Structure 1
Amino acid sequence: MAADPTIVNARGMKCPWPALRAARALRDARVIVIEADDPIAPRELEALAQAQGWQFSALGDHRFALERAG
């Protein structure tokens, strides 16, 4: 990751809230690490990233990174 990530805590939130929090955070940050423990969150976050042209990475332990291009 090129920049220091913004940390987003979405633990305990059911989808679509983790994806909504991620999208909001990426308005101002280039890179975020989001913590989300909803079992659906990885798929939702990956789909969001793909739709927006962002990079998605699963970091393990309910942690995911999203990075905007450019």
Structure 2
Amino acid sequence: PILDKIARIRRMIGTRAIDLQVDGGVTADNAHRVIAAGANVLVAGSAVFKTKDYAGNIAAIRGAKAAA
């Protein structure tokens, strides 16, 4: 699964200053798992623009960092 791939790539990166970006499929519901797996840059276009409450959608995704 994708979370395993993210974790494997994060281990490969190690301590080097390299961002690990995930683009696609990121939602407020799964962002904390994506972050916990090792991603530090999330691209969430559809999850942000799915409703007119863009600010609320962004806040929900940003809040995932605390849960990770």
* TM-score band, normalised by shorter chain: 0.3 to 0.5
Larger radius of gyration: 2
* Greater helix proportion: 2
Q: Could you state the TM-score of these two structures normalised by the residue count of structure 2?
A: 0.42
Q: Could you state the TM-score of these two structures normalised by the residue count of structure 1?
A: 0.41
* Greater strand proportion: 1
